Amino acid sequence: MLITAPNLSRPDDSYARLIALHDGLSEDESHALNARLILILMNQIGDDAVLAQAMELAKKPT
Amino acid sequence: MTAHSTLAFTLYPYARSADQDRAEPAYHKVVVVGGGPVGLAMALDLGLRGVPVLVLDDNEGVGEGSRAICFSKRCLEICDRLGAAGPMMGKGVVWNVGKVFHDDRLLYEFNLSPEGGHAFPAFINLQQPYFEKYLHDAILAAQAKGSPIEMRGGNRVTQVTPDATGATLQIDTRDGPYSLRTDWLVACDGARSPLRGMLGLNFDGRVFEDNFLIADVRMQASFPTERWFWFEPHFKSGASALLHKQPDDVWRIDFQLGWDIDRKAELDPAKIRARVDAMLGPDVSYDLVWTSIYTFQCRRMDRFRHGRVLFAGDSAHQVSPFGARGANSGLQDVDNLGWKLAAVMAGQAPDALLDSYDSERVHGADENILNSSRATDFITPKSKVSKLFRDAVLGLAATLPFARTIVNSGRLSVPCTYDGSTLNGPDHAAMPPRSRPGSACPDAPTPEGWLLNRLTQGFTLLTIDAHAPDSLTAQGQILPRLALTATPELTARYLGQAKSAIYLIRPDHHVAARWETYDEPAVTQAFARALGKE
Ligand SMILES: Cc1cc2nc3c(=O)[nH]c(=O)nc-3n(C[C@H](O)[C@H](O)[C@H](O)COP(=O)(O)OP(=O)(O)OC[C@H]3O[C@@H](n4cnc5c(N)ncnc54)[C@H](O)[C@@H]3O)c2cc1C
């Protein structure tokens, strides 16, 4: 099951880290970094059913 | 694809047949159109079952040029049943190791070497002309022993008129046209299938917008017998490249050229040599044996059965070569169709059994198309974003093992399991999933030889440490028993946690049903089901 309830131990820190990660990168470099990050996180999640739910959720315009 | 102009082997030269002098069309029980690997194997399978079969091919033998080189374990097991695997093993190059490179870095290597205790290796490499010649040699041997197989080269089918009880064919020869009448027609006439066109049937799917240059070169080289694949190779001869050994000191080299190319310029031997030199280095001398440029597609017919006309091999489905699933799946079509057609013709099974050829092999084709499309999409990313992710995977794969599992340079052909087939009977939860109903029997050594060699031409009741009668008469047939005692291999592959096992095995060596102990009504019912009687 995909977790949609709050689950980040330090939400502000994690978010700031994500934004800071892209400091000084060109758009192409940022895209490449995001792709690597998604792949790494995909492996951390592992379960194909959870990934499918996450992808479905991301597809929905909010 | 390029047309073959010269023949590698003349196998069935044109000879005038008495049928050409008849006023009325001559009658045949089964006509196979096409003498490629699939048509030859089809004729052999039917002929060995005593079904009279006539093969018509517009050529007189095998064309120049390798095309297929990788033949899978399952394909070899089928050829062994057909009496053709010996020379294939004698000539072929056995390989197990593959290496995948990105630029000049080795990303990872894999070893296909299966567990021990199998008659055949995961793959051999063999030029397609040899593969076809050995099938034809097996036909000659079967004919000598009385198998009713007839081959007619130089016979081009130009027209087909199907009806409820068969089809009428128009055939062109150098002595002029003639016509034939047949009860059953098996179309093995290749990816461009003229028969499919004559019947107005569709063949939909995807074209991959890329060109691949295939060069077979002969050289004395010390490269190991391994499959080497490069993404974005440092030698810049293509967007990807492949190097793979074949018999006779021939190596398959394959370069991905991109979509917008000048085909004619690319086929200039000087230009090809420049690419090969960059890959092999300046000091390696070689001959160009065969070169060709391909675009690849993945597509299939909606249905492989159209009444009394059955499509098999590339005429029914086509895949890109990444995964070696073309000829290997065509041989699985033959394996599936041969016994069913023979049983229906002999009145041992209802016509509906042939509908299961359609459903089982469409399932197989979909599996191959899925695997082959995914590999081709990875090798040739079709959008900016897919290229972004592909490159990210390759970048991570150098150091992170998880990313290597995503790298896809072709998922190599494994036997198809007919999960969910209407022919499947009961399963048993304690037994290994790999031999569940629908799967191809895993081979295993037994004291009297390889398990697959001990199965009969028809259905077999395999028993392991179980009580059962020596044979059972059911559905008007005798079902012979093969009684074995457990060995470590049989336990791992067939028993699992069960103490004993009864397996009902189809003539194509796929499992129909399995139980822990013998129950005659249950076996009889599963037998009926496997014959399409339910
Ligand atoms: C570059 C390349 C690499 C490949 N590598 C592999 C691999 O490693 N492993 C693998 O398994 N597969 C591979 N394949 C696929 C493999 O070559 C094909 O799947 C295989 O040849 C299909 O066999 P077939 O008998 O169905 O058709 P074909 O080999 O095309 O034979 C069709 C026959 O029908 C005849 N015919 C056509 N029309 C008529 C007519 N009107 N009348 C009479 N006869 C007719 C033709 O002359 C021909 O003999 C590869 C293909 C390519 C292009």
What confidence tens digit (pLDDT) does each residue in B463-492 have? 999 999 998 999 889 999 999 999 999 999
Report the alpha-carbon distance of residue B414 to residue B328 in Å, rounded: 9
Percent of chain A with pLDDT over 90: 95
Query: How far, in Å, from the CA of B199 to the mean position of ligand 1?
Result: 20
Q: What is the CATH number of the domain that holds B212?
A: 3.30.9.10
- Is residue B4 over pLDDT 60? no
Find the domain containing A31 and state its range. 26-62
> According to the model, what pLDDT value does residue A9 have?
98
B193 & B331 share domain: yes
Domains held by chain A: number = 1
CA angle B463–B448–B73, rounded 5-degree value? 85
Provide, as residue numbers in chain A, all residues whose Cβ is less than 8 Å from the Cβ of B392: 32, 35-36, 39
- Is residue B5 over pLDDT 70? no
Band the pLDDT of B7: cuts 50, 70, 90: confident
Q: Is A58 on the interface with B (CB under 8 A)?
A: no
Report the alpha-carbon distance of residue B476 to residue B463 in Å, rounded: 21
B78 & B178 share domain: yes
> According to the model, what pLDDT value does residue B1 have?
35
Interface contact A31-B388, CB threshold 8 A? yes
B164 & B63 share domain: yes
CA atoms within 13 A on the CB side of B84: 27
Q: Which residue has the tokens 């990788």?
A: B70
Report if residue A31 sits inside a domain. Answer: yes
> According to the model, what pLDDT value does residue B2 have?
38
Q: Is A45 on the interface with B (CB under 8 A)?
A: no
Query: What's the pTM value of the predicted model, to 2 decimals?
Result: 0.96
B254 & B340 share domain: no
Please give the average per-residue pLDDT across B72-78, as a whole number: 97
Selected residue with higher pLDDT from B456 and B222: B456
Interface test with B, best of A43, A44, A48, A55 (most B CBs within 10 A): A43
Report if residue A52 sits inside a domain. Answer: yes
Interface contact B393-A31, CB threshold 8 A? no
Please give the average per-residue pLDDT across B83-111, as a whole number: 94
Report if residue A17 sits inside a domain. Answer: no
Band the pLDDT of B201: cuts 50, 70, 90: very high
CA angle B88–B93–B99, rounded 5-degree value? 140
Q: Nearest Cα to B108, choosing from B240, B221, B230?
A: B230
What confidence tens digit (pLDDT) does each residue in B248-262 have? 999 999 999 999 999
What confidence tens digit (pLDDT) does each residue in B30-73 have? 999 999 999 999 999 999 999 999 999 999 999 877 799 999 99
Report if residue B127 sits inside a domain. Answer: yes
**What's the mean pLDDT when you consider all of chain A?**
96
User: How far does the CA of residue A45 sit from the closest CA of chain B (Å)?
Assistant: 12
Report if residue A2 sits inside a domain. Answer: no
Please give the average per-residue pLDDT across B181-189, as a whole number: 98
Interface contact B403-A39, CB threshold 8 A? yes
Interface contact B396-A31, CB threshold 8 A? no
Q: Which residues are B149's β-sheet partners?
A: B53
Secondary structure element (H or E) that encloses residue B137, with its range: helix B128-144
Last residue of a domain, one of B353, B368, B391: B353
Alpha helix segments (H runs only) across B145-203: 194-198
> According to the model, what pLDDT value does residue B3 have?
39
Report if residue B31 sits inside a domain. Answer: yes
Report the alpha-carbon distance of residue B504 to residue B487 in Å, rounded: 19
B56 & B159 share domain: yes
Q: Tell me the Ramachandran region of residue A31: left when phi exceeds 0, alpha when psi lies from -120 to 50, beta otherwise.
A: alpha
Interface test with B, best of A29, A36, A51 (most B CBs within 10 A): A36
User: How far does the CA of residue A46 sit from the closest CA of chain B (Å)?
Assistant: 10
Buried-exposed string B505-518: b where 16+ CB fall within 10 A, e elsewhere: bbbbbbbbbbbbeb
The count of other CB atoms within 10 Å of the CB of residue B290 is 17
Largest CA distance in chain B: 74
Q: What is the CATH number of the domain that holds B153?
A: 3.50.50.60
Report if residue B15 sits inside a domain. Answer: yes
Interface test with B, best of A38, A39, A59 (most B CBs within 10 A): A39
Report if residue A32 sits inside a domain. Answer: yes
Q: What is the CATH number of the domain that holds B522?
A: 3.40.30.120
Find the domain containing B467 and state its range. 433-530
Alpha helix segments (H runs only) across B307-346: 326-345
What confidence tens digit (pLDDT) does each residue in B398-444 have? 899 999 999 999 998 889 999 999 999 999 999 999 999 999 999 99
Report if residue B392 sits inside a domain. Answer: no
B145 & B256 share domain: no
B182 & B85 share domain: yes
B79 & B225 share domain: no
Secondary structure element (H or E) that encloses residue B470, with its range: none
Contact criterion met (CB below 8 Å) for B30 and B183? yes
B160 & B307 share domain: yes
> According to the model, what pLDDT value does residue B66 have?
78
For the sheet with B317-318, list strands across it. B105-111, B97-102, B227-231, B240-246, B250-258, B204-218, B287-300, B317-318
What confidence tens digit (pLDDT) does each residue in B346-372 have? 999 999 999 999 999 999 999 999 999
Residue of chain B whose Cα is closest to the Cα of A30: B388
Q: Which two tokens stand for residue B250?
A: 């021939």
- Ligand 1 atom with minimal separation from the B128 CA: 17
- Is residue A62 over pLDDT 90? no
Q: Is A31 on the interface with B (CB under 8 A)?
A: yes
Domains held by chain B: number = 3
Report if residue B109 sits inside a domain. Answer: no
B464 & B494 share domain: yes
> According to the model, what pLDDT value does residue B56 have?
98
Secondary structure element (H or E) that encloses residue B273, with its range: helix B269-280
Report if residue B360 sits inside a domain. Answer: no
B336 & B191 share domain: yes
